[in-house]
């Protein structure tokens, strides 16, 4: 896993909307390269400065673009020490579901596992898939440093769904509470 993150400085005359798809091609070719694009900010996560120099040379030779990088920072990750049960409240399209999620620590380097111990009688499969997809796509951040979570198993252990929102807060998705 990459341990350093750098912001990429792209020349002002290069439109990001056409340059980012090119960068995504490079990411698909290199499993040790990660790209994060947020609000006109392009960040890359790499193993070290050597990989960064190779990336800079590859971008120059393939796309004839000279990029620069800001000073790098370490990528921190958080995990949990003990098992805990949290709950999630999901409200897409005027329907809602409540789910209890067992979070258990995994061995270092195991990554994230997500599963369900719910029967389809307790929570229909579509809801289970939606909730698992939401956790996968928008993994909560850690509470200590706001860093990415790792080495945790998330298991759906109970839940219910309803078709009409019971609260006046329709449209909001509430994060997991610990």
CA torsion 9-10-16-20 (nearest 10°) is -80
Model confidence pLDDT, tens digit, residues 15-65: 999 999 999 999 999 888 889 888 888 999 998 889 999 999 999 999 999
pLDDT for the residue 3: 86
Instruction: Confirm if 33 and 55 have CB atoms less than 8 A apart.
Output: yes
Give mean pLDDT, residues 71-97. 86
Task: Work out the pLDDT band at 91, boundaries 50, 70, 90.
Answer: confident
The two tokens of residue 8 are 């990429």
Give mean pLDDT, residues 138-160. 90
Other beta carbons less than 10 A from residue 173's beta carbon:
13
Give mean pLDDT, residues 129-146. 86
């Amino acid at each position: 896993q990459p341990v350093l993150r750098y912001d990429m400085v792209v020349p002002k005359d290069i439109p990001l909307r056409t340059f980012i798809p090119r960068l995504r091609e490079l990411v698909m070719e290199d499993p040790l390269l990660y790209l994060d694009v947020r609000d006109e900010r392009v960040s890359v996560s790499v193993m070290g400065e050597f990989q960064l120099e190779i990336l800079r040379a590859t971008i120059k030779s393939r796309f004839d673009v000279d990029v620069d990088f800001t000073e790098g920072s370490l990528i921190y990750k958080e995990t949990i020490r003990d098992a805990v049960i949290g709950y999630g409240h999901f409200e897409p399209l005027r329907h809602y579901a409540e789910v209890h999620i067992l979070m258990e620590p995994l061995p270092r380097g195991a990554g994230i596992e997500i599963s369900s111990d719910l029967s389809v009688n307790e929570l229909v499969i579509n809801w289970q898939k939606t909730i698992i997809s939401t956790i996968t796509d928008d993994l909560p951040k850690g509470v200590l440093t706001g860093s990415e979570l790792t080495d945790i198993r998330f298991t759906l252990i109970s839940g219910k769904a309803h078709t009409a929102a019971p609260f006046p807060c329709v449209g909001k998705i509430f994060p997991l509470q610990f």
